[in-house]
Amino acid sequence: MFCKINSCGLLGINAFHVDTEIEISKGVVDFTIIGLGDAAVKESKDRVRVAMRSSGLRFPDAKVTVNLAPADIKKAGTLLDLSIIAALLTATGEINADLSDSVFIGEASLGGEIKAVSGVLPMTILSKREGYKNIFVPCDNAFEASVVDGINVYGVKTVRDLINHFKRINVIPPQKKYIPDETILRNINDFADVKGQSVVKKAIEFAAAGGHNLLMLGPPGSGKSMLAKRIPTILPPLTFDESIDITGIYSVAAMVDKKNPLITRRPFRSPHTNSSLPALTGGGSIPKPGELSLAHHGVLFLDELPEFNRSTLEALRQPLEDREITVSRTGGTFTYPCRVMLVAAMNPCPCGFFGSSKKQCSCTDAKKKQYISKISGPLLDRFDIQIEVGETDYESLASARKEESSEVIRERVSKAREIQSARYKNTGISCNADITDDIINEVCVMTPEASEHFKTAFDSLGLSGRAFARILKVARTIADTENEKLIGKKHINKAVNFRTLDRKYWSN
């Protein structure tokens, strides 16, 4: 008796279709699984056999062969258990239904329960795209799968429930569609809480408007972390496609919130300074996305930047530029997306008070130099906007004056983003930070006066080619916030001023 059941596998964050084929024939009693499965797939045999017995079913006294096709792609994890069970039940006649338009995903426990697995969202999206009508997933993953429109999702609790469903003894109702709760979009952190700091806030607004990387440098307690946490609140709302993109990554990382499975807020990830490189970029024996990918379409905040391992920081340079990370493992090579806005904060020296008007710095020159040099020139170069965050004075902190809310700032940011979206339509570029070398001169046109001013600054400050391009992109953003087609002198001037920290702190 031969039978075929539809299932899925995962490669990095991408799902692929798997045919679970089963052949039950006379011969020496045996149960084998072939088709390039890892250890967890091989152990499926024991889980499935015991789960069937616990569900009051007889495992066939025959030669049972399961083939997982395509046989040349590695299958990992436990998610194929449910498809093997469905195949066994169909081949033995326990289930007598047409399952050709259904997909089965889930792990079996020895007691016959179906346990949650990771990556259900990308697998549901794939199944829908491939035209399947139904997907059977573990009960705990059903809500997550229900964010995908156009496919019936059935949450399976136990092997028995699956049989009863197809025998029509107790039909599993399709999972109700998840509709995001509007109230969870309310901001907990708001720029209205930050007193004063108008210059810094404006720089942050420019960074958000163009998706530029931002470095904040200042003494302890000046509000750097406070400001960084509020950046996602002024970024434009996620589109549905972006939401699905991010949720897919969280699904693979098994980090989807059970109650609110669709991620509707821009991520803000703030990894600890002692995070390892794999924790940041992704990897591991069962590969999972790292912090960079978990911040996809959002903010990656590296607080206390010099405290990170220097070689770890250097390894981030390329993925940040490429907007994706490639991780090689024995199981294959995986590519994870990481379109992030990088925000970093640091003190100017180990005691934190170098340059402070309030306290005397107690660091020696050598200590200061050692500290600041943890941030290499090329890494510093990747921060389009570099700003000093000074201490807020007493009057501002104690003032009852209402500060501008995140919502008001976000409206301006969104307007500037709309201009960019129209300009970069069908180019794959989403904001000014992504402008590629081939179009930079075409989209960043300066007035003659601006060009003259930029040339003088370029020569007198000894700027690099990369600095040239980055200043031009930031100037493009500043001009966009004013709805100006041409980049003017004042825009160039502001953009150049956002790159002066290196001369103050990094030069000897």
Ligand X SMILES: Nc1ncnc2c1ncn2[C@@H]1O[C@H](COP(=O)(O)OP(=O)(O)OP(=O)(O)O)[C@@H](O)[C@H]1O
- State which of residues 7, 90, 92, 197 lies at the interface with ligand X (CB under 6 A): 197
Q: By CB under 6 A, tell whether 230 contacts ligand X.
A: no
Query: Which of the ranges 166-174, 189-197, 413-421, 460-468 carries the binding residues for ligand X, by CB under 6 A?
Result: 189-197
Q: Does 224 bind ligand X (CB under 6 A)?
A: yes
Range in contact with ligand X (rule: CB under 6 A) among 61-69, 168-176, 215-223, 420-428 = 215-223
The yes or no reply on residue 6 touching ligand X (CB under 6 A) is no
Least separation in angstroms between residue 389's CB and ligand X is 6
Q: Does 225 bind ligand X (CB under 6 A)?
A: yes
Q: Closest CB to ligand X among 224 and 297?
A: 224
For residues 9 and 264, give the distance between their C-alpha atoms in angstroms, rounded to a whole number. Answer: 26
Partner from Mg ion, ligand X, none contacting 306, C-beta within 5 to 8 A by type: none
| Binding segment (CB under 6 A) for ligand X, from list 130-138, 166-174, 193-201, 419-427 | 193-201
DSSP string, 40-103: HHHTHHHHHHHHHHHTT-PPPSSEEEEEEESTTS-B-SSTTHHHHHHHHHHHTTSS-S--TTEE
Q: Is 347 in the site for ligand X (CB under 6 A)?
A: yes
Task: Between 77 and 218, name the residue whose CB sits nearer to ligand X.
Answer: 218
**Which one-letter DSSP state was computed for residue 254?**
T
Q: Nearest to residue 343, comparing CAs of 235, 245, 270, 273?
A: 270
Rounded CA Rg of the chain: 28
| Per-residue contact flags (x/-) with ligand X for residues 392 to 411, judged by CB under 6 A | x----x--------------
Q: Is 356 one of the binding residues for ligand X (CB under 6 A)?
A: no
Would you say 489 and 453 are in contact if contact means Cβ atoms under 8 Å apart? yes
CA distance 148 to 140: 16
> How far is it, in rounded angstroms, from Cα 336 to Cα 294?
10
| Cβ neighbour number for residue 335 with a 10 Å cutoff | 16
Partner whose footprint covers residue 432, from ligand X, Mg ion, none (CB < 5 to 8 Å by kind): none
* Residue 218: count of CB within 10 angstroms of its CB: 22
| H helix intervals, 149-258 | 159-166, 198-210, 224-229, 240-252
Angle at alpha carbon of residue 322, lines to 316 and 326, rounded to 5°: 70
Q: From Mg ion, ligand X, none, which one binds at residue 194 (CB under 5 to 8 Å depending on kind)?
A: ligand X
> Interface with Mg ion by CB under 5 A: which range of 14-22, 31-39, 223-231, 404-412?
223-231
Q: How far is CA 236 from the centre of its chain?
A: 16
Nearer to ligand X, 258 or 358 (CB): 358
Q: Which residues of this protein are in contact with Mg ion, per CB under 5 A?
A: 224-225
Q: Which residues of this protein are in contact with ligand X, per CB under 6 A?
A: 194-197, 218, 220-226, 345, 347, 352, 392, 397
